[in-house]
Amino acid sequence: MVLNCNLRENISIIVVQILPQFSEKSNSLKEKRVANDTIKLERVVENETKEEELNRNQFSKQTDDKTKQKKKGGINYVYVLITKKKKNWQDEICSYACRCATEKKEKLFVDILERYNQDIIWNRGFKIYGWTFFFFFFFSLFFFLLKKKDLLSHLVSRLSGNNVMCARYVLESDMIKIGERQDAIKNALETAILQQETKGIKVLMSAKFMSEKDKMTREYAMTQMKQRSKIEELLGYLKKMTSGSEFDVIMKGLTKTLLAMIKDGKLISSDVFNMCWLYDKEKLWEVLFKKCTEILNINTLHDHCNDWKWIEEHLVDNRDLLVWMDDLPLVQKKKKKEEHKTANEEKDNDDDKGKRIRWEEIRKLCESQSFKHTNQFHEEINAEISKFEQEYRKLVFFQWTSNKDNTAQKQTQEQKEVKAKNKCRQDDDELGVQSLISEKELLDVQINSGDVAFHPKHSYDFDVYLNDLLTRAHEMNRSYQTEMANLFKGCQECTFSEGPIKTHERCKLKAQLDYKHEQFPKSAHVIDILRCQVIFTNIDYLVQGLNHFMRMMESPPYCNSFKVVRMKNGFAKYSSVQSLDGKVRVPQEYEDVKMNVLFTENGKSIVTEVQFLLQIMARFKQNEHPFYEIQRQESLLMDSLLVMNDLSFHVQLRIASFAPVDMANLMLYFPNHFRQSTAVQNFKNAAGSNFCTQMASNPQVTLQYAKALLQSGDFIPLDVVQAQLYEKNEEGRILSCSRCGNKSLLPAYNCLYLRTRITLEPCGMRWTLFNTIIFINIYIHICVHIYIHDNYSCIHFGVANEYVDLIKMLQLLKDNIRDEERWQSLIQLPERGVCIYDVVQGLSKTNKQTNKQKTKNEKMYSKDFAH
């Protein structure tokens, strides 16, 4: 528990967790451990007042009372003062919070983090003293010093925090500072992968790709990787099933057909294109780039919707084509490098570190077209401003003021707030869409949920609240558009047009990108779901339209339904910058004036947006839009390249941690990668275990995928499997055998060995998985021809194991072992005169197997197979 206190950041009191007493004889030893384990933290006390002194005395009294209490729920608590004077005091706070997580005291963990969140350095490692229990005929208590890790890494580590629920709370509550979040997640993910903590990995991966943009990036990267693997597999089978000449005839015919379809602007099959792309890249690229050059003409594209649809289908929305993410040829890379150096030496040096892809050629094409159109736009806007110079000055300096009192000195408080307000929310108004559940309530739900895939705060914000907001938008849209259309009927030379209601996907993306650091709910910051625009023929009419809008907002009946809550004048940035001749500078890009208006009707309100545009600006925006959509893909593609590097097959295999579903995905989508992967062939974990040995020690391995992975030869070469299973350690023992025989605390080792020798096994843990996984054991002992322990074969250990179906085991072995001499060697004991019952008894002293099952197995063994 954490005591509440009112000292202004000077004195705080936290609870120190003491190990429970295990026996009366160890009381004195426990007192020493309590003294050593107690965290003593103090805070700097500055400008002490009488009130603070009184409070401190009260807290000290409470501390004394609490320390005198007996065990409470098996745990003692000591209350101590905290001060910043002590070195690394933040680390001790993290260490204590980590202990609370270890003891499943989630409420106390949350209280500590809420109090000291601002003091925690999330990407800095700290040491923590923990404890674990080892059972070897009796249990002993050991303290050990763990490697330095940050708090999030400790929470997903089975050796320290070991509390995925607390880790999920930290990630969902946005406690981690913006600049530290990426490093903290990366470090924690490395820890979870190293220890094969599947739940921790899922929580961290979910947090890493939580936003819609990150999900899109990951989906694009994974789609590209799957497509390449699929097409390579297809081409491999095609080569295998045909002769060399037949293969060339087929591929040349497909390529010729595809080239004709591209020239004619037809819809092409992604799979066929990718096949031909891997067969003949340069011929396809020449025709494809020429077609894109013809279509991407800024003067004609907006008038040809069919051409834009073709570009949209094959360039903007297509995630399957391999061409755009493919490497540029070396010649083009060198040429591009020289061009960039002349334009921007420093930028090019940074770009050289990354990968150059063919999509950059399309981007370059779009930039050249945009540059031509921008020059034309500058000429038009210059002429417009020269014609209406005085009106343009009014536009640049335009601010929202009351028509009744237009002097800055006598502005009302409401107008000053509108002028100063840069942000507004849908829930600022009491009639607006309000969140029915608080952020704290949602986080409390999460900390008590065992489902690692459940994110109540995220789901409520971007699904529940946002859907409520969209529902209100659709409900009020018709009335809003009608009122706005009537309002602008009195304006000269203007065109009013309704804007489409923003889609759920676009709202979600905007909230997560533009307002990711704002308060919950972030979706409340989306204030342009309802929108309309008014286009004016020139600057003079635009200024008149703005003044007309101001008057109408303050006159009945509009003043009862509308209220301006924010204004954003895009031209205002040119007000403080003048050219050498004293003239106000001309806009170099698209600009407009936006008014955010609170619309109220029938006891409900919603914030909307009105856009005021010049006709020149509207035309420029319309022509630029297709090229903007294409250029906007740059961020997606470049981020996808990073994801493809971060989630390579090697990394995905480690993340899978031998979980059946994840392994099945890898075996289906990336079958050839197993054969070439360094993670399979060369990588060893911290314990020196190779891939097959790691597989043997993992409790998630199942027979179905293990058999296909190791036996078929379609994934891992058989010689690699055999070499890894027969690999020896420095002592000359079979690595997989020694790992299983002496150090295993995991029941999954029974997947490889029929063993009952569990002296190092914690109480209650048994070998229970053999009946579901038998293949790997047979593979080792039939194909590799080795014995398990002290010259006893797998049969002898299977006889003594109550979980083994002896009949099935022996029948399966006998059916597969055709060599009678080999069979006899497996069923005979190494020493003559020693009966199998004695062997079973000697190897099963710590096993909790029933005598009835042992006798049954032994009788069946001796009767049906031994002779």
pLDDT, tens only, 161-184? 788 888 888 888 888 887 888 888
Is 178 found in the same domain as 66? yes
My answer on whether omega of the bond before 626 falls inside 30° of 0, hence cis, is no
At 260, the pLDDT band (50, 70, 90 cuts) reads: very high
3-state class percentages of the chain: helix first, strand second, coil last, to nearest 5:
55, 10, 35
At 228, the pLDDT band (50, 70, 90 cuts) reads: very high
Is 507 found in the same domain as 602? yes
Q: What is the mean pLDDT of residues 349-378?
A: 79
Q: What is the mean pLDDT of residues 309-319?
A: 89
CB 172 within 8 A of CB 115: no
Q: Is the pLDDT of residue 417 over 50?
A: no
Q: Which of 29-33, 468-472, 575-579 is least confident?
A: 29-33
Q: Find residue 534's DSSP bridge partners.
A: 496, 612
Angle, CA 315 vertex, CA 313 and CA 316 arms, to 5°: 80
Secondary structure letter of residue 17 according to DSSP: E
Q: Mean pLDDT of all residues in the chain?
A: 73
Whole-number Å distance between alpha carbons of 205 and 221: 15
Is 299 found in the same domain as 248? yes
Whole-number Å distance between alpha carbons of 116 and 128: 18
510-557 residue pLDDT tens = 999 888 888 999 999 999 999 999 999 999 999 999 999 998 988 888
Q: What is the mean pLDDT of residues 477-485?
A: 94
Q: Is the pLDDT of residue 564 over 50?
A: yes
Q: Would 367 be classed as within a structural domain?
A: no
Tokens representing 527?
């204030």
Q: Is the pLDDT of residue 825 over 50?
A: yes
Is 531 found in the same domain as 506? yes
Q: Is the pLDDT of residue 212 over 90?
A: no
Residue 809: per-residue pLDDT: 67
Q: Would 332 be classed as within a structural domain?
A: no
852-867 residue pLDDT tens = 444 554 454 444 444 4
Which residue, among 160, 172, 154, 591, has the nearest Cα to 396 in the 3D structure? 591
Q: Would 703 be classed as within a structural domain?
A: yes
Q: Which of 323, 354, 378 is the last residue of a domain?
A: 323
Q: Which residues, 6 or more positions from 542, have their beta carbon under 8 angstroms from its beta carbon?
A: 391, 395, 536, 593, 612, 613, 614
Of 803 and 473, more confident: 473
Whole-number Å distance between alpha carbons of 673 and 95: 41
Q: Is the pLDDT of residue 40 over 50?
A: no
Which residue, among 292, 293, 300, has the nearest Cα to 318 in the 3D structure? 292
- Strands (E) in 203-338, as ranges, are none
At 711, the pLDDT band (50, 70, 90 cuts) reads: confident
Residue 830: per-residue pLDDT: 53
- Strands (E) in 106-225, as ranges, are 129-135, 139-145
Is 597 found in the same domain as 699? no
Whole-number Å distance between alpha carbons of 254 and 272: 8
Q: Is the pLDDT of residue 717 over 80?
A: yes
Give me the CATH number covering residue 438: 3.30.460.10
Is 489 found in the same domain as 516? yes
My answer on whether omega of the bond before 830 falls inside 30° of 0, hence cis, is no
Highest mean pLDDT among 71-75, 505-509, 842-846: 505-509
Q: What is the mean pLDDT of residues 158-163?
A: 79
Q: Is the pLDDT of residue 49 over 80?
A: no
Distances in Å between the Cα of 75 and the Cα atoms of 62, 92, 139 are 18, 19, 19
Q: Is the pLDDT of residue 256 over 60?
A: yes
Highest mean pLDDT among 60-74, 93-107, 348-362, 817-831: 93-107
Is 219 found in the same domain as 196? no
Amino acid symbol at 164: V
CB 766 within 8 A of CB 803: yes
DSSP 28-55: HHHHHHHHHH----B----S--HHHHHH
Residue 847: per-residue pLDDT: 41
Whole-number Å distance between alpha carbons of 79 and 81: 7
Q: Is the pLDDT of residue 502 over 70?
A: yes
Structurally, the chain folds into a number of domains equal to 4
Tokens representing 205?
């991966």
Q: What is the mean pLDDT of residues 202-210?
A: 87
For 353, other C-beta atoms within 10 Å of its C-beta total 6
Q: Which of 468-477, 594-603, 689-698, 775-784 is least confident?
A: 775-784
Q: Which of 194-198, 393-397, 705-709, 814-818 is least confident?
A: 814-818
Which residue, among 784, 811, 785, has the nearest Cα to 798 in the 3D structure? 811
CB 162 within 8 A of CB 101: yes
Whole-number Å distance between alpha carbons of 507 and 527: 9
Residue 162: per-residue pLDDT: 80
Is 618 found in the same domain as 662? no
Highest mean pLDDT among 2-6, 421-425, 680-684: 680-684
728-771 residue pLDDT tens = 766 655 555 544 433 332 333 333 333 323 222 322 223 333 33
Q: Which residues, 6 or more positions from 479, have their beta carbon under 8 angstroms from its beta carbon?
A: 599, 601
Amino acid symbol at 589: E
Amino acid symbol at 501: I
Q: What is the mean pLDDT of residues 822-832?
A: 61
Of 341 and 431, more confident: 431
CB 111 within 8 A of CB 2: yes
Is 600 found in the same domain as 619? yes
At 429, the pLDDT band (50, 70, 90 cuts) reads: very high
Radius of gyration of the chain (CA): 36
Q: Would 258 be classed as within a structural domain?
A: yes
Is 569 found in the same domain as 614? yes
Mapped onto helix, strand or coil, the DSSP state of residue 520 is: coil
Which residue, among 719, 658, 722, has the nearest Cα to 201 in the 3D structure? 658
406-415 residue pLDDT tens = 444 444 544 4
Angle, CA 489 vertex, CA 484 and CA 494 arms, to 5°: 95
Which residue, among 232, 18, 271, 43, has the nearest Cα to 129 in the 3D structure? 18
Whole-number Å distance between alpha carbons of 666 and 803: 31
Q: Would 348 be classed as within a structural domain?
A: no
Name the phi and psi angles at 619, rounded to 5: -65, -40
State the residue range of the domain holding 669.
Answer: 658-864
Is 513 found in the same domain as 447? yes
User: pTM of this prediction?
Assistant: 0.71
Is 398 found in the same domain as 291? no
At 354, the pLDDT band (50, 70, 90 cuts) reads: low
Residue 332: per-residue pLDDT: 53
Q: Which of 208, 226, 244 is the last residue of a domain?
A: 208
Of 717 and 178, more confident: 717
Angle, CA 661 vertex, CA 660 and CA 664 arms, to 5°: 85
Of 646 and 774, more confident: 646
Q: Which residues, 6 or more positions from 287, have their beta carbon under 8 angstroms from its beta carbon?
A: 259, 262, 263
* Buried b or exposed e, range 374-383, using 16+ CB within 10 angstroms: eeebeeebee
DSSP 744-755: ---GGGGGT---
Tokens representing 741?
């025989």
Q: Would 40 be classed as within a structural domain?
A: yes
CB 633 within 8 A of CB 316: yes
Q: Would 563 be classed as within a structural domain?
A: yes
Q: Would 585 be classed as within a structural domain?
A: yes
At 293, the pLDDT band (50, 70, 90 cuts) reads: very high
CB 258 within 8 A of CB 250: no
Distances in Å between the Cα of 286 and the Cα atoms of 279, 281, 290, 292, 333 are 14, 9, 6, 10, 16
Q: Which of 600, 634, 668 is the last residue of a domain?
A: 634
Whole-number Å distance between alpha carbons of 797 and 787: 11
Q: Calculate the CA 769 to chain-centre distance.
A: 33
Amino acid symbol at 479: S
Of 197 and 41, more confident: 197
Whole-number Å distance between alpha carbons of 270 and 256: 15
Name the phi and psi angles at 78, rounded to 5: -120, 130
Residue 839: per-residue pLDDT: 39
